[in-house]
Each structure stands twice: as C-alpha cells, then as structure tokens.
Amino acid sequence: MRTASMAGSSHADITNIQQRQSRRIAFWAIGCSIIACVAMLGISLRVLQLKVAPDSRLQAIMGDPISTRPSVGRRGDLIDRRGRLLATSTIGWRLFIDPTLVDDLGTISVELQDLIGLDAIETDRKLNRRLHSRFVPVSNILEDWQVDRINSADLRGIGLERRLVRSYPQGSTAARLVGTVGFDHQGLGGLEHALEDQLLGQGGKLRYLRDVRNRPMWVASDGYEPHVDGEPVRLTIDLAIQRYLEERLQEAVDDCNAGGGRAIVIDPQSGEILALSDIINKREGWPGQPEDPLREKHERLGRNRCVTDPYEPGSTFKPFVWAVATESGAADALEVLPTPAATPYRTSTGRRIRDVHYYGPVTWRRVLVKSLNSGMAIVAERISEEAMQGCVERFGFGQRTGCGIAGETAGLVTPSKSWSSYTQVSVSMGHEIAVTPLQMVRGFAAFARDGSLPSLCLVSEDESTLIRQQAISADMAREVREILEEVMTDGTGRKSQSEQYRLFGKSGTAQLPKSEGGGYHQDRYISSFIAGAPFDTPEVVVLCVIDDPDRSLGAWYGGRVAGPVTRDVIDFSLEYMGVPSDKLPQDASLSDRRTN
C-alpha cells in the first residue's frame, strides 16, 4: 500500500512540474511576441519617420520620398460646321535621361543612336549641360516604333514622358485661321490663341509616398487631383468651301501676278463666316507690297489681313451712299442728273471728277449701274456732312465687327473735325475711307437681308448678345439689290455673271496708296468684287480683293480680276449647299446678248 501511495505522489509532482514549465514557456513566448511586435512597430514607425520627416543630416543625402505623377488634360478639338477635324490633340512620348541612374554615361548616347536613331553628338551635348539633373529631355515627340524599342530595351536611367501632341489633319487648309500652339500647348496664333480659355485643358496629378524602388506605398486622401479636358469648339467654317476658296484665290493671284489676295464667304442671314482666305505673293522689285514677317517664319502665324488690314473699297462703297441718299430724299432713283457727256465733272469747289466712260445726263439709278463718279459727287454735295458720316456709321464702318478673330481693326474713317467738302465727295466714291474685308461683307449683307446688319460669328451656337443694327429699310434694301442685279447684266459685272444663279454685285477699282510720302500710285490698284446670291433668298455673300494686280498682264479692273473669283466661289458654295439654280434659260440668254 505504501509503495502504491508513493507512486501516485511522484506522478502528481511530475504533472505539476510539466504544467509549470508549460506556463513558463507560454509566458516567455507571449513576452517575446510582445517584444517582437513592439520592436517591429518601433522599426516601422522609425522607417516611416525617416521617410516622412527624416533628420536634417539625412535630408542632405536622400531624395524627396514623395513622388508626383502628372495627368495630362487634353486640349479641346477644333471642328468645322459639319464636324470635320481642323485641330486635335493626341498623346505622344518624349525621351528623357536620368544621369544618376545610367550605367555608363559615356556610351548611352551611342546606344540610343543605334536603338532609335537619336543623334549621339546632340544627346551628349544635352547631357553635359545638365549632368546633375535627374531629368534631361533629349528628344522631340517619338514615333511609335521608337517608343516600342525603348520599352523593349529596358535601359537603366531612360524614361518616357507623356506629352500632348497637337495635329492638324487638314494640312495647310485654313492654317492661318486655325493658328498653332507652342511646346507647352498654349495657343500662339489664330483661333488657337483667340479660343484659349475654351480649348485649354487642366492637368491633374497624383502624389504618393514611394519606397527605395520607387514603388507607391501610400496615397493621401488629398493626393489625387483629376485632370480636366478642354472643350471642343465647333466653328462656322465649312472645310469644303474653305478649301475651294483658297485654291481659287491662289489661282487668281498667280494669273495676274498680284501682291496678294483676300476673300470671305458669309451666310448673310445668320452672320456665320463660312470661309476666309488671305494670300501674300512676294514679288521682287515691287515696293509697298503686303508684308507679314511672322508668316514667313511659320505658315500658321502672322496676322489675318481680312480683319487687320483695311483697304480703300472704291466703287464697292457706292451702294451704301446711294441707299442712304435715296432714302433721305436727296435724290430720286428716276431723277436725271447732269452727268457730263465727254469731259470731267467739276464740283462746287472746282474739283475735277473723272469717269471711266461718259454717258451724258442719266438717272440716279443709272449712276449706280454704270458706277459714275460724277453722279455720286453731284448727290454727295446735296446731303450734309452729318448725313454722310451717319451713312458710314449705319453700315458698321469704323467699328469692329466683334466676330472673335484676334487682331481685328476698326478701319480708317476721317474724324468729323477733319471732315471737309473734299472728304464728302471722296467718301461717296469709296475713297478717303478704309474698310476691312470683314466690315465690307457685313455691310453688304444688309442688301441681302431686310436692311439690317448681321452679327458676324466664327463659333457655332455663339450665345453672345445680338444687337440689331438697322442700316436702311427693307424696301430700300430690295431696291438696291435689284439695281445691283442690273450691274451684273448691264454694268461692271458683265464679265462675272453666273450661268446658274442671279447674282447682285458691285466691282471696285481703287488706286493703291503709296506706302511713303502720301498720295496714290497712278498705275497700281486694289481691285475688288462683292456679290450675293440667289437673288430672292440670298444664302451667301462673297467678297474678293486682289492686291495690286500686274497691269502689264492686261487686266486690273475689279470686274475682270476679282469678279470671276467671286462668281466661281458663289457657284461652288451654292451647288455644294444644295441650293437650286434660280436663273431661267431666258435670263441666261439675255445675259449672253448683253455681254457680247
């Protein structure tokens, strides 16, 4: 019994010892785990502290642990009235080098030359200027095959930067109107500059804490700013009409060896600008010809002379004076005026007024058909200076149109304090006043409407406030339109008649002002022609201005050099727009007989 009792006591002791050892092991295990966790937490906090707020002694030798990844905001597209792209932005890639990571700076330029064709000497030159920088751009926008090779090569210290690339799918068509952008994608000229606020996108960014291998570790709640794309802008320009206008104007400038040419097409009812073109033709030995230094540097830069450079309109200005004088009662359309039969007319101040042809006494209506300077001078002396100045203002001359094209000028009008009897007569013939082509088409549009001026625009759905400007009554606008149709059949527009549409128009041939010393050239001219069609419901007004045509080639009058351009552009535009012909066969045969 005693032996059994002793055996039981020994077994209990062993069990107690094992339990105590188990508790001791568990205690130490828990203690070590706690110590390890605290140590790990301490180490993590220390690492975080070194990353976020390192000691000043470390800051001098370590880089910024915060990385910023930019997000590109795309620039808005420019499209024509039918949605065809004029300007668009895509993503491109530019190569850069981080000299601190490159394995061998001495050979990297040669490696890149062999890999993607970069000039090794130029690459070395760029690197040597910025060896201590971590970002050295060494290329322009790369082609797709170059990007693929860079990605496949996996070279240390070589990276690709995302860049916006502005492209112009229509090439040189409307180049100066659209303009261009700089390397930073900001507009430098044309509509790219004028519409900068709408087109320009805003870049975004992502800021994050990175590890030693540049891997993102943590992004703060305020570390992400999304990019904002620019707005697309739909223009009133029609690409097909624009292309034809440029080609036809260039042909006319070449044919008459002119110093340049300008042309505009508008919808007179809506005021939308459908096309406009401006050409400069450099000629050796011709002083005083149009110049534009910026245009020589880049075809998309330089001024748009349709809105910046005024010219003397000559006889194309006569319909405006005729309308206002008739409406004021200064003359009746059927009144016979004492226009001369063979010699120049003399004004009340003794000034000699010459006509190209002399017809003897004719009606006031016939004065406009035959473009007689003498008849305009006779009636100009009947009306007051204030009335003549009011005529200029009523048709929008001396004022900017506000169409949205940068650099627009107000033209040149003699101020009232300097207005004289000489000015009075000169303005009635389209002299001593200078207008921009844009002002001219806007004023002429009154005859294609109800006598009011349209608000010209270049951006579709322009919500700017429209101010109605009534120049003349609707009845007077219709009467002038009828006379201008007769100009096409029995006046200076005979050589510019259309076989399809009833045009109403007027030609102008003004002497070219001298660039120095004042006065005019006796044998150099600004030739122009403006017309609208169809007659009853006009849908286009077209102006063509030919700067300084070469007289030695035989033709310089507006009806001969500018008229055919205006007619051809009207025919093309109306056919393209699907406007049916409004000219009956008998109208065409009558026009042919009068022309012959």
Tell me the pLDDT tens digit for each residue of 461-497.
765 556 678 999 999 999 999 999 999 999 989 989 9
What value does the mean pLDDT take over residues 18-35?
Answer: 81
State yes or no: pLDDT of 63 exceeds 90: no
Among 141-155, 199-213, 248-262, 517-531, top mean pLDDT goes to 248-262
Instruction: Indicate whether 181 and 320 sit together in one domain.
Output: no
Q: Look up the CATH number of the domain holding residue 77.
A: 3.90.1310.10
Res. 280 pLDDT band, cuts 50 70 90: very high
How are beta strands 158-167 and 85-97 bridged, if at all? antiparallel
For residue 29, count other CB atoms closer than 10 A to its CB: 10
Residue 201, in any domain of the structure: yes
The pLDDT value recorded for residue 135 is 87
Instruction: Quote the CA–CA distance of 420 and 426 in Å, as a whole number.
Output: 10
Instruction: Indicate whether 412 and 538 sit together in one domain.
Output: yes
Per mean pLDDT, which range of 15-29, 131-145, 241-255 is the poorest? 15-29
Instruction: Indicate whether 209 and 253 sit together in one domain.
Output: no
DSSP string for residues in 446-510:
HHHTTSEEP--BSBTT--SPP--EE-S-HHHHHHHHHHHHHHHHHSTTGGG--SSS--EEEEEEE
Enclosing H/E stretch for 536: none
Mean model confidence pLDDT for the chain: 88
Instruction: Indicate whether 298 and 218 sit together in one domain.
Output: no
The pLDDT value recorded for residue 417 is 94
Instruction: Indicate whether 213 and 248 sit together in one domain.
Output: no
R_g (Cα) of the chain, nearest Å: 39
What value does the mean pLDDT take over residues 165-171?
Answer: 91
The pLDDT value recorded for residue 214 is 65
Percent of the chain clearing pLDDT 70 (strictly above): 90
Long-range contacts, stretch 459-463, CB < 8 angstroms, 24+ apart = 459/195, 459/233, 459/234, 459/235, 459/236, 459/404, 460/81, 460/234, 460/235, 460/236, 460/272, 461/234, 462/404
Q: Of the residues 191, 216, 234, which one is the last residue of a structural domain?
A: 234
Per mean pLDDT, which range of 42-56, 217-231, 367-381, 480-494 is the poorest? 42-56
Contact present, 195 and 233 (Cβ < 8 Å): yes
The pLDDT value recorded for residue 191 is 92
Instruction: Indicate whether 245 and 223 sit together in one domain.
Output: no
How far is Cα of residue 184 from the mean position of the Cα atoms in its chain?
A: 18
Residue 43, in any domain of the structure: no
Instruction: Indicate whether 404 and 429 sit together in one domain.
Output: yes
Res. 90 pLDDT band, cuts 50 70 90: confident
Instruction: Describe the chain by its helix, strand, coil percentages, rounded to 5.
Output: 40, 20, 40
- Better-predicted residue by pLDDT, 338 or 71: 338
The pLDDT value recorded for residue 514 is 82
Q: Of the residues 210, 234, 258, which one is the last residue of a structural domain?
A: 234
Among 58-67, 100-109, 478-487, top mean pLDDT goes to 478-487
Q: At what angle do helices 474-490 and 585-595 cross, to 10 degrees?
A: 60
Residue 31, in any domain of the structure: no
What value does the mean pLDDT take over residues 95-101?
Answer: 89
Residue 465, in any domain of the structure: yes
Res. 9 pLDDT band, cuts 50 70 90: low
Instruction: Give the SS3 label for residue 542.
Output: strand
Instruction: Quote the CA–CA distance of 217 and 223 in Å, as a whole number.
Output: 13
The residues, ordered by sequence, that sit 6+ positions from 254 with a Cβ below 8 Å of its Cβ are 281
Contact present, 489 and 496 (Cβ < 8 Å): no
Instruction: Give the SS3 label for residue 564.
Output: helix
Instruction: Give the SS3 label for residue 285.
Output: coil
Instruction: Quote the CA–CA distance of 244 and 173 in Å, as a whole number.
Output: 10
Instruction: Indicate whether 225 and 243 sit together in one domain.
Output: no
Maximum Cα–Cα distance across the chain: 168
Residue 305, in any domain of the structure: yes
Q: How far is CA 390 from CA 224, 387, 478, 526, 570, in A?
A: 60, 5, 21, 25, 31
The number of domains in the chain is: 2
Q: Of the residues 234, 268, 285, which one is the last residue of a structural domain?
A: 234
Instruction: Indicate whether 553 and 518 sit together in one domain.
Output: yes
Instruction: Indicate whether 85 and 204 sit together in one domain.
Output: yes
The residues, ordered by sequence, that sit 6+ positions from 473 with a Cβ below 8 Å of its Cβ are 327, 451
Domain limits at 211?
Answer: 72-97+164-234
- Better-predicted residue by pLDDT, 375 or 220: 375
What value does the mean pLDDT take over residues 419-448?
Answer: 96
Instruction: Quote the CA–CA distance of 199 and 514 in Å, as a whole number.
Output: 41
The pLDDT value recorded for residue 102 is 87
What value does the mean pLDDT take over residues 240-268?
Answer: 96
Instruction: Indicate whether 396 and 324 sit together in one domain.
Output: yes
